[in-house]
Amino acid sequence: MDTTLQDPLVGHVLDGRYRVDARIAVGGMATVYRALDTRLDRVLALKVMHPALAADGSFVERFIREAKSVARLAHPNVVQVFDQGTDGSYVYLAMEYVAGCTLRDVLRERGALQPRAALDILEPVLAALGAAHRAGFVHRDMKPENVLIGDDGRVKVADFGLVRAVDTVTSTTGSVLGTVSYLAPEQIEHGTADPRVDVYACGVVLYEMLTGDKPHSGDSPAQVLYQHLHADVPAPSAAAPGLAFELDDLVASATARNPEVRPYDAVALLAQVLEARAGLSPEQLDAVPPKALTPDHDNAEDRTSVIPRSLSGQRPLPVNEDDAAVLDRTSRFESPPPPPRRRGNRPRRGLFAIVAAVLLALGLGAGVWYINSGQFTKVPPVLAKTEAQARDRLAKVGLDVKQVKQAYSDTVKRGTVSGIDPEVGARIRENDAVTLTISKGPETVKVPDLAGSSLNEAKALLKEKGLAAGMVTRSFNDDVSQGSVIGTDPGAGTERHAGSAIAITVSKGSRIEVPEVTGSSVEEATADLEDEGLKVKIASQRVTSEFDKGEVAEQSPGPGRYLAEGDTVTLTISKGPEMVEVPDVVGDSVDDATKALEDAGFEVDEDRGLLGLFGDTVKGQSVDGGEEAPKGSKITIEIR
């Protein structure tokens, strides 16, 4: 049965503009409909808040304020917000409609994905979140339901309904907003959120794409929340044998329970994803996923909800005896050890010895086989790890560190590994040594004072300081000469990361009001405009107009507009008025004559004199019938 038929909004025109055609989805905070914008004849998605939340004035105020902020976030992988409004008890958002499905639909239908497909989806998601993070926003509710996959293959992030400004205090005392399965530990424990909570959720989503199931499960939300706090997300290869260890490391990095260890935003995680992909072979990228798991995806853990802090503290209240037992057992292990990492398919030394003995007995030259396979290893992934963590991982594969260098990095957190030589995945002899490069964090530069310099000088100075010229806008200014820099955003003296773009405002000089020159000769109009410091361009095409032939019929920009010195005004010259044949109305009634002349494009004036005050018959006309007169000119009719 089509449940949308029972929805009171289906068929309703919201706010006198949006015709609700069908219900698409129901979430924990709102219902999404397919609708038609009757004003622009455009199909869009309409997100309507649930009435219980719409009744909360403070929630609605925040919803509106944050919707306006997200509407300014223009990115090809972000679902755009077109409009926001209220209609009675309905509070809604009008958004871009993406024909296709959600990542949840794909996982429900196919289960685990091949690594290549998982990364193809994750990368545009991180690009979208990275744009939001760099613009100062945190999504806070990343999950497969909010990843839209269009019929054309485009991936878009939706539902920024819980978005918050990065610099906004997000700690709450009574509840946590979000979806249980994707909440970061700091969201649960303290109610705080910065870009790293989105990084954590993306790590959970990646695990789910690679394995077909969530990393944490339980009989109640409390059990899932407790696992987020006290258990690491397991390696995907533990559930899906055959996955490359680089994918294990990606998930481990993104879902580190300590937010200080995670990539600091989606841009940093995207850099790790691209590096990991580069180190995978085609066979590893196209590894066949495990048989699809079939969990119940329609449970409360997938819905955005307001979670009481009684369920999100360090020790959630058990809801039954089984829950209590699980919690008691788990509490003994504050940090359960993660499953052992795989390091390829290197045979154990004992196995080498057995095989070597067999081959020797067969006379097959086991020594050569052992040297080629057993004494070499691959450089493991250590990027974004601390130096101590990197040294420990290298030691486990028989490698030492011969040198440690430092370098600035915009994508890798200060104090962690930003590079290694030989590079990750390189074949190297055991007991050899590598060189680590430790990140000094982003290089910061003070924005120079560019006021008064030319645009070219400003760009050169920014480049010299390690910055980039961003958007250039031009503005009228009576104090700064035309072409000189008025100022920058951020202002002079502000510290920014090396490579940051700095917006520049350039003076257009004093503003000049464009004079009225229509109806003037070309010579007079040109002189008037040049006297004001403006240039003149004559349009190649002439037009008919009320003005005489050769006079200025149109000007662009029009009179009263403001230009800068040296700007151009385009003049269109008149071909003269359009000539129209005058109808013969002598002998007609006044009404018939007036209608005939006005239909032909003329104005009509009556001349009754003393003898025609009560007459109704036209006895003469100022231009005889059959002759031509300028269209729009006045024809006088004599009435007797």
Report the topology of domain 444-507.
Answer: Trypsin Inhibitor V; Chain A (3.30.10)
Summarize the confidence of residues 323-340 as an average pLDDT: 31
Q: For residue range 583-598, what is the model confidence (pLDDT) as tens digits?
A: 999 999 999 999 999 9
| Cα 54 to Cα 69: distance, rounded to the nearest angstrom | 19
* Residue-range domain boundaries for the chain: 1-97, 101-331, 347-377, 379-440, 444-507, 511-573, 579-639
- Is domain 1-97 in CATH 3.30.200.20, yes or no? yes
CATH of 579-639, one of 3.40.50.10420, 3.40.50.1970, 3.30.10.20, 3.40.50.12780: 3.30.10.20
CA-based max dimension of the chain: 141
| Cα 542 to Cα 386: distance, rounded to the nearest angstrom | 74
Q: How confident is the model at residue 341 (pLDDT cuts 50, 70, 90)?
A: very low
Summarize the confidence of residues 160-186 as an average pLDDT: 60
- CA atoms within 13 A of residue 268's CA, in its CB half-sphere: 27
The pLDDT, as a whole number, for residue 373 is 36
Q: For residue range 342-390, what is the model confidence (pLDDT) as tens digits?
A: 333 333 333 333 333 433 333 333 333 222 334 578 888 888 889 999 9
Token pair, residue 395, equals 């030691």
Q: For residue range 72-88, what is the model confidence (pLDDT) as tens digits?
A: 788 889 988 888 888 88
| SS3 state at 550 | coil
Q: How confident is the model at residue 174 (pLDDT cuts 50, 70, 90)?
A: very low
User: Is the pTM higher than 0.75?
Assistant: no
Summarize the confidence of residues 435-440 as an average pLDDT: 91
Ramachandran angles phi, psi of 21, nearest 5°:
-100, -35
What is the residue-averaged pLDDT of the chain?
A: 81
Whether 228 has a pLDDT exceeding 60, the answer reads yes
101-331 and 444-507 agree in CATH topology: no
Q: What architecture is domain 101-331?
A: Orthogonal Bundle (1.10)
CATH of 379-440, one of 3.30.10.20, 3.40.50.720, 3.30.9.10, 3.60.20.10: 3.30.10.20
Residue 34 contacts residue 45 (beta carbons within 8 Å): yes
Whether 108 has a pLDDT exceeding 70, the answer reads yes
Q: Which residues are the active-site residues?
A: 141
Question: What percent of the chain stands above pLDDT 70?
Answer: 81
Whether 314 has a pLDDT exceeding 60, the answer reads no
Of the two residues 111 and 332, the one the predictor is more confident about is 111
102 beta partners: 148
DSSP string for 26-50: E-SSEEEEEEEETTTTEEEEEEEE-
